[in-house]
Chain A
Protein backbone atom coordinates (compact mmCIF):
# COMPACT_ATOMS: atom_id res chain seq x y z
CA UNK A 1 0.00 0.00 0.00
CA UNK A 2 1.42 3.37 -1.01
CA UNK A 3 0.32 6.63 0.45
CA UNK A 4 -3.41 6.55 0.34
CA UNK A 5 -5.11 9.87 0.47
CA UNK A 6 -8.37 10.09 2.21
CA UNK A 7 -8.36 9.63 5.87
CA UNK A 8 -5.00 8.03 6.42
CA UNK A 9 -1.57 8.53 5.03
CA UNK A 10 1.64 6.76 5.74
CA UNK A 11 4.31 8.43 7.79
CA UNK A 12 7.37 8.72 5.64
CA UNK A 13 10.13 8.34 8.18
CA UNK A 14 9.51 5.09 9.89
CA UNK A 15 10.24 4.21 13.44
CA UNK A 16 9.38 1.34 15.72
CA UNK A 17 5.90 0.40 14.67
CA UNK A 18 3.16 -1.02 16.85
CA UNK A 19 1.42 -4.05 15.44
CA UNK A 20 -2.00 -2.49 15.91
CA UNK A 21 -0.99 0.23 13.47
CA UNK A 22 -0.46 -2.31 10.72
CA UNK A 23 -3.69 -4.06 11.62
CA UNK A 24 -5.58 -0.78 11.53
CA UNK A 25 -4.00 -0.01 8.18
CA UNK A 26 -5.12 -3.32 6.75
CA UNK A 27 -8.68 -2.85 8.04
CA UNK A 28 -8.82 0.66 6.74
CA UNK A 29 -7.42 -0.20 3.32
CA UNK A 30 -10.07 -2.89 2.96
CA UNK A 31 -12.96 -0.62 3.92
CA UNK A 32 -11.56 2.25 1.88
CA UNK A 33 -11.25 0.20 -1.28
CA UNK A 34 -14.70 -1.25 -0.70
CA UNK A 35 -16.32 2.17 -0.30
CA UNK A 36 -14.79 3.79 -3.37
CA UNK A 37 -16.41 2.57 -6.58
CA UNK A 38 -14.79 3.01 -8.92
CA UNK A 39 -11.55 3.84 -7.16
CA UNK A 40 -9.51 6.59 -8.81
CA UNK A 41 -6.94 5.37 -11.28
CA UNK A 42 -3.40 4.75 -10.19
CA UNK A 43 -2.29 7.28 -7.60
CA UNK A 44 1.05 8.96 -7.98
CA UNK A 45 4.08 7.02 -6.82
CA UNK A 46 5.13 8.35 -3.46
CA UNK A 47 8.07 8.50 -1.16
CA UNK A 48 6.26 6.10 1.13
CA UNK A 49 6.99 3.25 -1.25
CA UNK A 50 10.16 1.30 -0.84
CA UNK A 51 9.92 1.76 2.92
CA UNK A 52 9.68 -1.18 5.27
CA UNK A 53 6.08 -2.36 5.70
CA UNK A 54 3.89 -1.47 8.65
CA UNK A 55 3.98 2.30 8.75
CA UNK A 56 2.59 4.54 11.44
CA UNK A 57 -0.78 5.81 10.35
CA UNK A 58 -1.72 9.45 10.48
CA UNK A 59 -5.26 10.72 10.38
CA UNK A 60 -6.24 13.49 7.99
CA UNK A 61 -9.69 15.09 8.20
CA UNK A 62 -11.78 15.40 4.99
CA UNK A 63 -11.16 18.46 2.79
CA UNK A 64 -13.04 21.68 3.71
CA UNK A 65 -15.56 22.05 0.88
CA UNK A 66 -17.96 24.97 0.68
CA UNK A 67 -21.34 23.72 1.87
CA UNK A 68 -23.28 21.88 -0.84
CA UNK A 69 -20.65 22.23 -3.55
CA UNK A 70 -19.47 18.62 -3.66
CA UNK A 71 -19.89 16.37 -5.59
CA UNK A 72 -19.27 18.64 -8.58
CA UNK A 73 -21.14 16.20 -10.83
CA UNK A 74 -24.39 17.50 -9.33
CA UNK A 75 -24.18 20.13 -12.09
CA UNK A 76 -21.14 19.10 -14.13
CA UNK A 77 -22.67 15.83 -15.28
CA UNK A 78 -21.98 16.49 -18.98
CA UNK A 79 -25.61 17.48 -19.67
CA UNK A 80 -26.79 20.20 -17.26
CA UNK A 81 -23.74 22.37 -17.84
CA UNK A 82 -22.09 21.94 -21.26
CA UNK A 83 -18.35 21.41 -21.27
CA UNK A 84 -16.36 24.50 -22.25
CA UNK A 85 -12.58 24.17 -21.97
CA UNK A 86 -11.80 27.69 -23.18
CA UNK A 87 -10.00 29.73 -20.46
CA UNK A 88 -12.25 32.67 -19.50
CA UNK A 89 -13.55 34.71 -16.59
CA UNK A 90 -16.52 32.93 -15.04
CA UNK A 91 -19.62 35.10 -14.58
CA UNK A 92 -22.72 33.15 -13.55
CA UNK A 93 -21.22 30.58 -11.21
CA UNK A 94 -18.01 30.36 -9.16
CA UNK A 95 -17.49 34.10 -9.67
CA UNK A 96 -16.71 34.32 -5.95
CA UNK A 97 -13.52 32.37 -6.55
CA UNK A 98 -10.65 34.82 -6.85
CA UNK A 99 -7.61 33.14 -8.33
CA UNK A 100 -4.52 34.61 -6.72
CA UNK A 101 -2.18 31.70 -7.17
CA UNK A 102 0.73 31.87 -9.61
CA UNK A 103 0.22 33.53 -12.97
CA UNK A 104 -1.84 32.57 -15.99
CA UNK A 105 -3.83 29.82 -14.31
CA UNK A 106 -7.33 28.69 -14.74
CA UNK A 107 -9.76 26.11 -13.30
CA UNK A 108 -8.95 23.15 -15.51
CA UNK A 109 -5.23 23.34 -14.80
CA UNK A 110 -6.04 21.49 -11.59
CA UNK A 111 -9.70 20.39 -11.84
CA UNK A 112 -10.37 17.51 -14.25
CA UNK A 113 -12.63 18.44 -17.20
CA UNK A 114 -14.17 15.02 -17.76
CA UNK A 115 -13.98 13.50 -14.25
CA UNK A 116 -15.38 16.45 -12.37
CA UNK A 117 -15.19 14.96 -8.91
CA UNK A 118 -11.43 14.61 -9.27
CA UNK A 119 -8.35 16.73 -9.64
CA UNK A 120 -5.58 15.93 -12.09
CA UNK A 121 -1.81 16.11 -11.93
CA UNK A 122 0.22 17.68 -14.75
CA UNK A 123 0.78 14.26 -16.30
CA UNK A 124 -2.98 13.69 -16.43
CA UNK A 125 -3.30 11.20 -13.58
CA UNK A 126 -6.49 11.63 -11.57
CA UNK A 127 -6.51 12.09 -7.81
CA UNK A 128 -9.31 12.57 -5.28
CA UNK A 129 -9.82 15.82 -3.39
CA UNK A 130 -8.55 14.14 -0.26
CA UNK A 131 -5.17 13.63 -1.97
CA UNK A 132 -4.80 17.24 -3.04
CA UNK A 133 -1.40 17.42 -1.31
CA UNK A 134 0.00 15.47 -4.27
CA UNK A 135 -1.19 18.22 -6.59
CA UNK A 136 0.27 20.98 -4.40
CA UNK A 137 3.52 19.04 -4.09
CA UNK A 138 4.13 19.20 -7.85
CA UNK A 139 5.37 22.78 -7.42
CA UNK A 140 5.89 22.94 -3.65
CA UNK A 141 7.96 19.80 -3.29
CA UNK A 142 9.98 21.06 -0.35
CA UNK A 143 6.78 21.82 1.56
CA UNK A 144 5.34 18.39 0.76
CA UNK A 145 8.52 16.75 2.03
CA UNK A 146 8.38 18.70 5.31
CA UNK A 147 4.63 18.14 5.64
CA UNK A 148 5.04 14.38 5.41
CA UNK A 149 7.43 14.35 8.35
CA UNK A 150 5.23 16.72 10.34
CA UNK A 151 7.38 19.83 10.17
CA UNK A 152 5.40 21.97 7.72
CA UNK A 153 1.85 22.42 8.95
CA UNK A 154 0.07 21.44 12.09
CA UNK A 155 0.05 18.10 13.83
CA UNK A 156 -2.15 17.33 16.80
CA UNK A 157 -2.74 14.25 18.89
CA UNK A 158 0.07 12.34 20.53
CA UNK A 159 3.81 12.97 20.24
CA UNK A 160 4.51 9.27 20.69
CA UNK A 161 1.39 7.80 19.11
CA UNK A 162 -1.40 8.54 16.70
CA UNK A 163 -1.32 11.98 15.08
CA UNK A 164 -3.74 14.04 13.12
CA UNK A 165 -2.59 16.06 10.11
CA UNK A 166 -4.32 18.78 8.19
CA UNK A 167 -4.37 18.91 4.40
CA UNK A 168 -2.69 21.88 2.67
CA UNK A 169 -6.16 23.24 1.90
CA UNK A 170 -7.22 23.36 5.55
CA UNK A 171 -4.87 26.32 6.08
CA UNK A 172 -4.27 27.61 2.55
CA UNK A 173 -7.19 28.43 0.27
CA UNK A 174 -5.97 26.74 -2.93
CA UNK A 175 -7.29 29.63 -5.04
CA UNK A 176 -5.59 32.27 -2.88
CA UNK A 177 -3.06 30.44 -0.78
CA UNK A 178 -1.42 33.16 1.28
CA UNK A 179 -2.09 32.55 4.99
CA UNK A 180 -4.77 35.08 5.95
CA UNK A 181 -3.80 37.66 8.66
CA UNK A 182 -5.42 37.14 12.07
CA UNK A 183 -6.71 39.35 14.83
CA UNK A 184 -4.27 38.90 17.74
CA UNK A 185 -5.58 38.03 21.19
CA UNK A 186 -5.15 40.78 23.84
CA UNK A 187 -1.62 41.78 24.95
CA UNK A 188 -0.46 41.19 28.54
CA UNK A 189 -1.27 43.87 31.11
CA UNK A 190 1.61 46.39 31.07
CA UNK A 191 3.21 47.06 34.48
CA UNK A 192 1.80 50.60 34.73
CA UNK A 193 -1.76 49.29 34.48
CA UNK A 194 -1.40 46.73 37.26
CA UNK A 195 -3.74 47.79 40.07
CA UNK A 196 -2.78 46.87 43.64
CA UNK A 197 -5.55 44.93 45.33
CA UNK A 198 -4.63 45.60 48.94
CA UNK A 199 -3.16 48.87 49.97
CA UNK A 200 0.07 48.76 47.99
CA UNK A 201 1.28 51.52 45.70
CA UNK A 202 1.32 51.03 41.95
Chain B
Protein backbone atom coordinates (compact mmCIF):
# COMPACT_ATOMS: atom_id res chain seq x y z
CA UNK B 1 0.00 0.00 0.00
CA UNK B 2 3.01 2.27 0.32
CA UNK B 3 3.07 2.73 -3.45
CA UNK B 4 -0.47 4.12 -3.49
CA UNK B 5 -0.92 6.85 -6.08
CA UNK B 6 -2.03 10.32 -5.11
CA UNK B 7 -5.74 11.07 -5.60
CA UNK B 8 -6.41 12.22 -9.14
CA UNK B 9 -9.38 13.88 -10.85
CA UNK B 10 -10.27 10.54 -12.36
CA UNK B 11 -10.57 8.92 -8.94
CA UNK B 12 -8.13 6.67 -7.07
CA UNK B 13 -6.86 3.84 -9.15
CA UNK B 14 -6.37 0.57 -7.35
CA UNK B 15 -2.74 -0.57 -7.09
CA UNK B 16 -3.71 -3.83 -8.73
CA UNK B 17 -4.61 -1.99 -11.92
CA UNK B 18 -1.31 -0.19 -12.05
CA UNK B 19 0.68 -0.75 -15.18
CA UNK B 20 -1.96 -2.81 -16.94
CA UNK B 21 -4.63 -1.19 -19.09
CA UNK B 22 -8.11 -1.87 -17.75
CA UNK B 23 -11.66 -0.79 -18.42
CA UNK B 24 -11.76 1.24 -15.20
CA UNK B 25 -8.56 3.07 -16.02
CA UNK B 26 -9.73 3.81 -19.53
CA UNK B 27 -12.99 5.29 -18.23
CA UNK B 28 -11.16 7.44 -15.68
CA UNK B 29 -8.92 8.95 -18.34
CA UNK B 30 -11.78 9.42 -20.78
CA UNK B 31 -13.93 11.06 -18.05
CA UNK B 32 -11.21 13.54 -17.16
CA UNK B 33 -10.72 14.36 -20.82
CA UNK B 34 -14.47 14.90 -21.26
CA UNK B 35 -14.68 17.33 -18.32
CA UNK B 36 -11.61 19.16 -19.60
CA UNK B 37 -13.14 19.42 -23.06
CA UNK B 38 -16.43 20.70 -21.63
CA UNK B 39 -14.64 23.35 -19.58
CA UNK B 40 -12.56 24.40 -22.57
CA UNK B 41 -15.84 24.93 -24.44
CA UNK B 42 -17.16 27.30 -21.74
CA UNK B 43 -14.82 30.24 -22.13
CA UNK B 44 -14.25 32.04 -18.86
CA UNK B 45 -16.00 29.42 -16.74
CA UNK B 46 -13.98 28.11 -13.84
CA UNK B 47 -14.17 24.50 -12.70
CA UNK B 48 -15.80 25.56 -9.41
CA UNK B 49 -18.43 27.51 -11.28
CA UNK B 50 -19.03 24.63 -13.66
CA UNK B 51 -19.52 22.21 -10.80
CA UNK B 52 -21.60 24.55 -8.57
CA UNK B 53 -24.98 23.08 -7.60
CA UNK B 54 -28.35 24.78 -7.06
CA UNK B 55 -27.93 27.45 -4.38
CA UNK B 56 -30.54 25.86 -2.13
CA UNK B 57 -28.60 22.60 -1.98
CA UNK B 58 -25.37 24.22 -0.83
CA UNK B 59 -24.09 23.86 2.72
CA UNK B 60 -23.13 26.98 4.69
CA UNK B 61 -19.48 26.27 3.97
CA UNK B 62 -20.13 25.90 0.24
CA UNK B 63 -22.14 29.15 0.20
CA UNK B 64 -19.17 30.93 1.76
CA UNK B 65 -16.87 29.50 -0.89
CA UNK B 66 -19.22 30.44 -3.73
CA UNK B 67 -19.59 33.99 -2.47
CA UNK B 68 -15.84 34.37 -2.03
CA UNK B 69 -15.26 33.09 -5.55
CA UNK B 70 -17.86 35.47 -7.02
CA UNK B 71 -16.35 38.43 -5.17
CA UNK B 72 -12.96 37.48 -6.53
CA UNK B 73 -14.23 37.13 -10.09
CA UNK B 74 -16.26 40.35 -10.09
CA UNK B 75 -13.49 42.37 -8.45
CA UNK B 76 -11.05 41.18 -11.11
CA UNK B 77 -13.47 41.84 -13.94
CA UNK B 78 -14.47 45.35 -12.85
CA UNK B 79 -11.13 46.36 -11.28
CA UNK B 80 -12.80 47.41 -8.02
CA UNK B 81 -13.94 45.81 -4.77
CA UNK B 82 -17.34 44.13 -5.21
CA UNK B 83 -19.26 42.76 -2.22
CA UNK B 84 -21.71 39.91 -2.77
CA UNK B 85 -24.19 39.72 0.10
CA UNK B 86 -26.31 36.81 1.18
CA UNK B 87 -28.71 38.47 3.64
CA UNK B 88 -31.51 36.03 4.52
CA UNK B 89 -35.21 37.02 4.69
CA UNK B 90 -36.20 38.88 7.86
CA UNK B 91 -38.60 36.73 9.95
CA UNK B 92 -42.14 38.14 10.16
CA UNK B 93 -41.73 40.25 7.02
CA UNK B 94 -43.73 39.92 3.82
CA UNK B 95 -42.95 42.64 1.32
CA UNK B 96 -45.68 44.53 -0.50
CA UNK B 97 -45.56 47.37 -2.97
CA UNK B 98 -48.19 49.92 -3.96
CA UNK B 99 -48.12 52.41 -6.80
CA UNK B 100 -50.37 55.46 -6.98
CA UNK B 101 -51.67 55.70 -10.54
CA UNK B 102 -53.29 59.05 -9.83
CA UNK B 103 -49.88 60.62 -9.08
CA UNK B 104 -47.39 58.94 -11.42
CA UNK B 105 -46.37 61.45 -14.10
CA UNK B 106 -44.37 59.03 -16.26
CA UNK B 107 -41.01 60.78 -15.82
CA UNK B 108 -39.04 57.45 -15.84
CA UNK B 109 -36.82 58.52 -12.92
CA UNK B 110 -37.56 55.09 -11.41
CA UNK B 111 -36.35 53.25 -14.52
CA UNK B 112 -32.91 54.83 -14.36
CA UNK B 113 -32.59 54.71 -10.56
CA UNK B 114 -33.24 50.98 -10.90
CA UNK B 115 -30.58 50.63 -13.60
CA UNK B 116 -28.06 52.49 -11.44
CA UNK B 117 -28.81 50.29 -8.41
CA UNK B 118 -29.23 46.88 -9.97
CA UNK B 119 -26.39 46.52 -12.51
CA UNK B 120 -28.34 45.38 -15.57
CA UNK B 121 -26.53 45.38 -18.90
CA UNK B 122 -26.25 48.85 -20.46
CA UNK B 123 -25.36 47.47 -23.88
CA UNK B 124 -27.48 45.64 -24.91
CA UNK B 125 -29.98 47.64 -22.90
CA UNK B 126 -31.88 45.91 -20.11
CA UNK B 127 -34.36 47.76 -17.88
CA UNK B 128 -36.49 46.08 -15.24
CA UNK B 129 -39.19 48.78 -15.04
CA UNK B 130 -41.33 49.63 -18.05
CA UNK B 131 -43.55 52.72 -17.83
CA UNK B 132 -46.66 52.43 -19.98
CA UNK B 133 -48.47 55.50 -21.21
CA UNK B 134 -52.20 54.91 -21.50
CA UNK B 135 -55.25 56.82 -22.66
CA UNK B 136 -57.50 58.19 -19.96
CA UNK B 137 -60.45 57.45 -22.24
CA UNK B 138 -59.54 53.78 -22.54
CA UNK B 139 -58.43 53.09 -18.98
CA UNK B 140 -56.00 50.28 -18.22
CA UNK B 141 -55.93 48.73 -21.68
CA UNK B 142 -52.73 47.23 -23.05
CA UNK B 143 -54.04 47.62 -26.60
CA UNK B 144 -53.67 51.36 -26.18
CA UNK B 145 -50.42 51.52 -24.24
CA UNK B 146 -46.90 52.44 -25.26
CA UNK B 147 -43.59 52.51 -23.37
CA UNK B 148 -41.87 54.60 -26.10
CA UNK B 149 -43.49 58.00 -25.47
CA UNK B 150 -41.01 60.88 -25.53
CA UNK B 151 -42.59 64.35 -25.31
CA UNK B 152 -40.92 67.55 -24.04
CA UNK B 153 -42.80 67.41 -20.76
CA UNK B 154 -44.88 64.83 -18.90
CA UNK B 155 -47.66 64.25 -17.92
CA UNK B 156 -49.32 64.70 -21.31
CA UNK B 157 -52.91 65.82 -21.58
CA UNK B 158 -55.39 62.94 -21.71
CA UNK B 159 -52.90 60.28 -20.61
CA UNK B 160 -51.92 58.45 -17.48
CA UNK B 161 -48.88 56.34 -16.71
CA UNK B 162 -48.56 52.83 -15.37
CA UNK B 163 -45.09 51.52 -14.47
CA UNK B 164 -44.85 47.72 -14.64
CA UNK B 165 -42.18 45.58 -13.01
CA UNK B 166 -42.07 42.16 -11.32
CA UNK B 167 -45.25 41.74 -9.26
CA UNK B 168 -43.67 39.21 -6.83
CA UNK B 169 -46.76 37.00 -7.15
CA UNK B 170 -47.97 34.81 -4.35
CA UNK B 171 -48.77 32.26 -7.04
CA UNK B 172 -45.96 32.84 -9.54
CA UNK B 173 -46.38 31.15 -12.95
CA UNK B 174 -42.69 31.73 -13.69
CA UNK B 175 -41.64 29.52 -10.78
CA UNK B 176 -44.08 26.82 -11.80
CA UNK B 177 -42.59 26.42 -15.28
CA UNK B 178 -38.87 26.51 -14.49
CA UNK B 179 -37.56 23.06 -15.49
CA UNK B 180 -34.46 23.26 -13.27
CA UNK B 181 -35.85 25.07 -10.19
CA UNK B 182 -33.50 27.99 -10.75
CA UNK B 183 -36.19 30.46 -9.62
CA UNK B 184 -38.29 30.29 -6.47
CA UNK B 185 -40.25 32.33 -3.96
CA UNK B 186 -38.45 33.32 -0.76
CA UNK B 187 -40.29 33.49 2.61
CA UNK B 188 -40.40 37.32 2.46
CA UNK B 189 -42.35 37.13 -0.80
CA UNK B 190 -39.55 37.94 -3.24
CA UNK B 191 -39.18 35.64 -6.24
CA UNK B 192 -35.47 35.18 -6.83
CA UNK B 193 -33.27 33.65 -9.53
CA UNK B 194 -30.06 31.67 -9.06
CA UNK B 195 -28.18 33.15 -12.04
CA UNK B 196 -25.67 30.32 -11.79
CA UNK B 197 -28.32 27.64 -12.10
CA UNK B 198 -30.51 29.27 -14.80
CA UNK B 199 -30.16 27.46 -18.14
CA UNK B 200 -31.69 30.29 -20.18
CA UNK B 201 -34.66 28.37 -21.59
CA UNK B 202 -36.91 31.44 -21.08
CA UNK B 203 -39.98 29.40 -20.14
CA UNK B 204 -40.45 31.82 -17.23
CA UNK B 205 -40.53 34.76 -19.61
CA UNK B 206 -43.27 33.09 -21.61
CA UNK B 207 -45.19 32.31 -18.43
CA UNK B 208 -45.01 35.78 -16.84
CA UNK B 209 -48.18 37.73 -17.70
CA UNK B 210 -46.52 41.03 -16.75
CA UNK B 211 -43.53 40.84 -19.11
CA UNK B 212 -41.33 41.44 -16.10
CA UNK B 213 -38.44 39.11 -16.91
CA UNK B 214 -35.48 40.06 -19.09
CA UNK B 215 -33.00 37.86 -20.94
CA UNK B 216 -29.30 38.47 -21.46
CA UNK B 217 -29.08 37.80 -25.17
CA UNK B 218 -25.46 38.89 -25.23
CA UNK B 219 -22.60 39.33 -22.81
CA UNK B 220 -23.89 42.05 -20.45
CA UNK B 221 -21.79 45.18 -20.61
CA UNK B 222 -21.54 47.61 -17.68
CA UNK B 223 -18.88 50.36 -17.59
CA UNK B 224 -16.84 49.56 -14.43
CA UNK B 225 -17.37 53.05 -13.00
CA UNK B 226 -21.16 52.59 -13.24
CA UNK B 227 -21.17 49.32 -11.33
CA UNK B 228 -22.88 49.31 -7.93
CA UNK B 229 -20.41 47.29 -5.83
CA UNK B 230 -22.92 46.57 -3.02
CA UNK B 231 -24.64 43.46 -4.32
CA UNK B 232 -26.67 40.43 -3.27
CA UNK B 233 -26.44 36.87 -4.62
CA UNK B 234 -30.12 36.92 -5.68
CA UNK B 235 -30.20 40.59 -6.62
CA UNK B 236 -27.91 42.98 -8.38
CA UNK B 237 -24.70 40.98 -8.72
CA UNK B 238 -23.48 41.09 -12.34
CA UNK B 239 -25.23 38.56 -14.55
CA UNK B 240 -24.02 36.24 -17.33
CA UNK B 241 -24.92 35.88 -20.96
CA UNK B 242 -27.86 33.52 -21.41
CA UNK B 243 -29.58 34.00 -18.05
CA UNK B 244 -32.87 35.61 -17.06
CA UNK B 245 -33.16 38.49 -14.58
CA UNK B 246 -35.89 40.71 -13.11
CA UNK B 247 -36.88 43.11 -10.33
CA UNK B 248 -36.22 41.78 -6.81
CA UNK B 249 -37.67 44.75 -4.87
CA UNK B 250 -33.97 45.71 -4.50
CA UNK B 251 -33.33 42.67 -2.29
CA UNK B 252 -29.86 43.99 -1.42
CA UNK B 253 -31.46 47.14 0.06
CA UNK B 254 -34.79 45.95 1.44
CA UNK B 255 -33.36 43.05 3.43
CA UNK B 256 -31.22 45.64 5.20
CA UNK B 257 -34.27 47.80 5.99
CA UNK B 258 -33.89 50.37 3.21
CA UNK B 259 -36.54 51.37 0.68
CA UNK B 260 -36.08 50.15 -2.91
CA UNK B 261 -34.24 52.58 -5.22
CA UNK B 262 -37.40 53.36 -7.24
CA UNK B 263 -39.25 54.41 -4.06
CA UNK B 264 -36.38 56.67 -3.04
CA UNK B 265 -36.20 58.47 -6.38
CA UNK B 266 -39.89 58.97 -7.28
CA UNK B 267 -40.40 62.76 -7.36
CA UNK B 268 -44.17 62.46 -6.88
CA UNK B 269 -44.07 59.97 -4.02
CA UNK B 270 -46.26 57.57 -5.98
CA UNK B 271 -44.38 54.49 -4.87
CA UNK B 272 -45.08 52.91 -1.47
CA UNK B 273 -43.31 49.97 0.07
CA UNK B 274 -43.45 48.08 3.33
CA UNK B 275 -44.22 45.01 5.38
CA UNK B 276 -47.68 43.57 4.71
CA UNK B 277 -47.62 41.85 8.10
CA UNK B 278 -47.15 45.13 10.00
CA UNK B 279 -50.61 46.66 10.58
CA UNK B 280 -48.97 50.08 11.11
CA UNK B 281 -47.10 50.15 7.80
CA UNK B 282 -47.99 52.61 5.05
CA UNK B 283 -48.62 49.72 2.66
CA UNK B 284 -51.33 48.41 4.97
CA UNK B 285 -52.85 51.89 5.22
CA UNK B 286 -53.06 51.99 1.43
CA UNK B 287 -54.69 48.57 1.23
CA UNK B 288 -57.18 49.40 3.98
CA UNK B 289 -58.23 52.90 2.93
CA UNK B 290 -57.61 53.40 -0.81
CA UNK B 291 -59.13 52.09 -4.00
CA UNK B 292 -56.72 49.30 -4.93
CA UNK B 293 -56.61 47.06 -7.97
CA UNK B 294 -54.49 44.15 -9.13
CA UNK B 295 -53.17 44.03 -12.67
CA UNK B 296 -54.57 41.01 -14.54
CA UNK B 297 -56.31 39.88 -11.38
CA UNK B 298 -58.30 37.29 -13.34
CA UNK B 299 -55.13 35.22 -13.87
CA UNK B 300 -55.03 34.40 -10.16
CA UNK B 301 -51.32 35.18 -9.82
CA UNK B 302 -52.08 37.14 -6.63
CA UNK B 303 -49.45 39.84 -7.05
CA UNK B 304 -47.99 41.63 -4.05
CA UNK B 305 -47.67 44.69 -6.24
CA UNK B 306 -50.80 46.82 -5.94
CA UNK B 307 -51.98 49.79 -7.96
CA UNK B 308 -54.12 52.38 -6.18
CA UNK B 309 -55.80 55.74 -6.61
CA UNK B 310 -54.52 58.07 -3.92
CA UNK B 311 -56.78 61.03 -4.53
Q: Which residues of A contact B (CB under 8 A)?
A: 13-16, 146, 149-161, 166, 171, 179, 181-190, 194, 197-198
Residues of B within 8 Å of A182, CB to CB, are 105, 107, 153-154, 267
Residues of A within 8 Å of B258, CB to CB, are 157-159
Residue of A14, A16, A149, A166 ringed by the most chain B CB atoms within 10 A: A149
Sample (29) of A-B pairs whose CB atoms are under 8 Å apart? A14-B280, A151-B286, A151-B310, A155-B269, A156-B259, A156-B263, A156-B264, A157-B258, A159-B259, A159-B274, A160-B90, A160-B93, A160-B275, A166-B269, A181-B105, A182-B267, A183-B107, A184-B108, A184-B151, A185-B107, A185-B108, A186-B108, A187-B108, A187-B148, A187-B149, A188-B125, A188-B148, A189-B125, A198-B218
- List 5 additional contacts besides A159-B258, A184-B154; criterion CB under 8 Å: A151-B286, A158-B259, A160-B274, A181-B154, A187-B108
A171-B267, A188-B148 are known contacts. Are A149 and B107 too (CB-CB below 8 A)? Answer: no
A184 touches B149 (CB 8 A): yes
B257 touches A161 (CB 8 A): yes
B285 touches A149 (CB 8 A): yes
Residues of B within 8 Å of A150, CB to CB, are 272, 282, 285
B148 touches A154 (CB 8 A): no
A187 touches B154 (CB 8 A): no
Interface residue from A14, A149, A186, A197 paired with B282 (Cβ < 8 Å): A149
Q: Does B32 contact A (CB under 8 A)?
A: no
Residues of A within 8 Å of B274, CB to CB, are 159-160
- Distance (whole angstroms) from the CB of B124 to the closest CB of chain A: 7
Q: Mark B242-286, 1 if CB is under 8 A from A, else 0.
A: 000000000000100111000110111100111100111110011
Q: Does B152 contact A (CB under 8 A)?
A: yes
B130 touches A159 (CB 8 A): no
A179 touches B268 (CB 8 A): yes
Chain B contact residues: over half helix, strand or loop, or mixed?
loop
A187 touches B150 (CB 8 A): yes
Q: In the complex the two chains form, what is the Cα distance from A160 to B257 in whole Å?
A: 6
Residues of A within 8 Å of B149, CB to CB, are 184, 187
Q: Does B147 contact A (CB under 8 A)?
A: yes
Q: Does B106 contact A (CB under 8 A)?
A: yes
Q: In the complex the two chains form, what is the Cα distance from A189 to B217 in whole Å?
A: 15
Q: Does B200 contact A (CB under 8 A)?
A: no
Residues of B within 8 Å of A153, CB to CB, are 269
- Distance (whole angstroms) from the CB of A5 to the closest CB of chain B: 19
Residues of B within 8 Å of A154, CB to CB, are 266-269
- Distance (whole angstroms) from the CB of A169 to the closest CB of chain B: 14
Q: Which residues of B contact A (CB under 8 A)?
A: 90, 93, 105-109, 111-112, 124-125, 127, 130, 147-155, 218, 254, 257-259, 263-264, 266-269, 272-275, 278-282, 285-286, 290, 310
Q: In the complex the two chains form, what is the Cα distance from A31 to B161 in whole Å?
A: 45
Residues of A within 8 Å of B150, CB to CB, are 184, 186-187
B109 touches A159 (CB 8 A): no
A151-B310, A187-B150 are known contacts. Are A181 and B269 too (CB-CB below 8 A)? Answer: no
Residue of A155, A158, A198 ringed by the most chain B CB atoms within 10 A: A155
B259 touches A181 (CB 8 A): no
B147 touches A188 (CB 8 A): yes
- Distance (whole angstroms) from the CB of B200 to the closest CB of chain A: 16
- Distance (whole angstroms) from the CB of B96 to the closest CB of chain A: 10
Q: In the complex the two chains form, what is the Cα distance from A194 to B125 in whole Å?
A: 9
Closest partner residue, chain B, to A160 (CB atom) = B257
Q: In the complex the two chains form, what is the Cα distance from A179 to B286 in whole Å?
A: 22
Residues of A within 8 Å of B279, CB to CB, are 15
- Distance (whole angstroms) from the CB of B126 to the closest CB of chain A: 9
Q: In the complex the two chains form, what is the Cα distance from A13 to B279 in whole Å?
A: 9
A185-B107, A197-B218, A198-B218 are known contacts. Are A151 and B272 too (CB-CB below 8 A)? Answer: yes
B268 touches A151 (CB 8 A): no
- Distance (whole angstroms) from the CB of B216 to the closest CB of chain A: 12
B282 touches A188 (CB 8 A): no
Q: In the complex the two chains form, what is the Cα distance from A182 to B268 in whole Å?
A: 11
Residues of B within 8 Å of A146, CB to CB, are 310
Closest partner residue, chain A, to B280 (CB atom) = A15
Q: In the complex the two chains form, what is the Cα distance from A185 to B125 in whole Å?
A: 15
Q: In the complex the two chains form, what is the Cα distance from A194 to B124 in whole Å?
A: 8
Interface residue from A151, A171, A184 paired with B107 (Cβ < 8 Å): A184
B266 touches A179 (CB 8 A): no
Residues of B within 8 Å of A179, CB to CB, are 105, 268
